[in-house]
Amino acid sequence: MLEKIDRLLSLISELSVKDIQELETFRIRYMSKKGIISELFEEFRQMPASEKKEIGRKLNILKQSVIEKYDSYKDSLSLLPSSPRLNDPSRPSFPCSLGTRHPISIVRGEIISIFERIGFSVSEGPEIESDDNNFTRLNFAPEHPARDMQDTFYISRISAGDSNPGDILLRTHTSSVQVRVMQKQKPPIRTISPGRVFRNEAISARAHCIFHQVEGLYIDENVSFADLKQTLLFFAREMYGEKTEIRFRPSYFPFTEPSGEMDVSCTICGGKGCNVCKYTGWLEVLGCGMVHPAVLEASNIDSTKYTGFAFGMGIERPAMLKYQVNDLRMYYENDLRFLEQFRSAF
């Protein structure tokens, strides 16, 4: 067998290939599943153990020689004018088609762009967060139901009872990034925090255990609820068009007081009612309110001098409105038939 391998090594070293067809013949003869190299390795398995070391070494040399010979001719022949690929005048000059951007990424970029135009910076933080940043500094009571395992994915819990700053979890909102900003930066603060969040929810056409948020924070002297409403009105009309109808409803959040929710007229059904808007004609897009004084004080910001507003929205629902997608689960199925609809034009 050693003599056979030596003859093949000599043959390959002297071999020359003139065109693509000969190169393909060479590949099939030596490198295919039923080629010479595969047959030799099959024969090698039956050799006595005492001979395998030397034969195996020579076999690997032969295999590497074949690969190097093939690669060298492949690179050189692909550049020859005789190549059929390059002789076709109808072939596009850029054969690589453009990829697609995910609709969530597109809408995320649009939301960021809108708020950047009115002076908001972008802040990011870790997805694995402490209970202290995710709940306690945002004025969540120790017994608040959002802390329960039914809503929060805990990585480790120091205490099974009351909240403990040592608890580690997957963040349930990007408000934890706002906490980090307030701890490091003094007012004025004007920032948005986009990112992925996690909640232990049943997956349906309207909800998922993984989704994306953009949360905003503005803290300065003499900030009012009127500033909040005007900011969100600007956002809604930039995002959905100048004729967009919006409405505010009173609500409750531990970290804002007073609090509200903003709805946008459903563009999927035109306000007539569908499964996405629960047949009301309106779709809730964000929660908002004035930052609670306790949240400011928890980050050592003087609540007697500064006020602020905060808001938070999921990215999936604005994307559903923009592209008239009626099932949120489609964003996570990686179905090319769906994603190719967002193929870049340039």
Domain's final residue, options 32, 63, 87: 87
Are 192 and 328 in the same domain?
yes
Are 181 and 324 in the same domain?
yes
Number of separate domains in the chain: 2
How big is the CA angle at 340 (ends 105 and 324), to the nearest 5 degrees? 65
How high is the pLDDT of residue 346? Answer: 40
In the numeric block, which tokens belong to residue 192?
A: 């948005």
In the numeric block, which tokens belong to residue 13?
A: 């070293």
Q: Would residue 330 be called left, alpha or beta, if left means φ above 0 and alpha means ψ between -120 and 50 degrees?
A: alpha
Assess if residue 96 is contained within a domain: no
Q: Is the peptide bond before 92 cis (omega within 30 degrees of 0)?
A: no
The model's pLDDT over 212-241, given as tens digits with 9 standing for 90+, comes to 999 999 999 999 999 999 999 999 889 887
Q: Is the peptide bond before 254 cis (omega within 30 degrees of 0)?
A: no
Q: How many residues does the chain have?
A: 346
Are 121 and 266 in the same domain?
yes
What does the alpha-carbon distance between residue 324 and residue 341 come to, in Å, rounded to a whole number?
Answer: 12
Assess if residue 134 is contained within a domain: no
Are 316 and 263 in the same domain?
yes
The model's pLDDT over 125-176, given as tens digits with 9 standing for 90+, comes to 999 999 999 999 999 988 888 777 668 888 886 554 554 556 899 999 999 9
What does the alpha-carbon distance between residue 214 and residue 342 come to, in Å, rounded to a whole number?
Answer: 21
**CATH code at position 321:** 3.30.930.10
Indicate the range of 19-23, 239-243, 342-346 predicted with least confidence. Answer: 342-346
How high is the pLDDT of residue 59? Answer: 83
Assess if residue 52 is contained within a domain: yes
The model's pLDDT over 287-315, given as tens digits with 9 standing for 90+, comes to 999 999 999 999 999 999 999 999 999 89
pTM above 0.75, yes or no: no
Residues 83/29, Cβ–Cβ less than 8 Å: no
Residues 171/215, Cβ–Cβ less than 8 Å: no
What does the alpha-carbon distance between residue 148 and residue 142 come to, in Å, rounded to a whole number?
Answer: 10
Task: Calculate the alpha carbon distances from 24 to 10, 30, 31, 70, 73 in Å.
Answer: 20, 10, 10, 9, 10
Residue 266 domain boundaries: 103-126+171-342
Are 332 and 250 in the same domain?
yes
Closest by CA position to 259, among listed 227, 225, 231 = 225
What does the alpha-carbon distance between residue 276 and residue 108 come to, in Å, rounded to a whole number?
Answer: 20
Task: Calculate the alpha carbon distances from 223 to 128, 227, 259, 295, 310 in Å.
Answer: 32, 7, 15, 16, 11
How high is the pLDDT of residue 83? Answer: 47
In the numeric block, which tokens belong to residue 218?
A: 């503005």
Are 291 and 330 in the same domain?
yes
Cβ-Cβ contacts under 8 Å for 208 (sequence gap 6 or more)? 201, 316, 328, 329, 331, 332
Count Cα atoms within 13 angstroms, Cβ side, for 18. 0
Are 115 and 30 in the same domain?
no
What does the alpha-carbon distance between residue 81 and residue 79 come to, in Å, rounded to a whole number?
Answer: 7
How high is the pLDDT of residue 80? Answer: 47
Assess if residue 115 is contained within a domain: yes
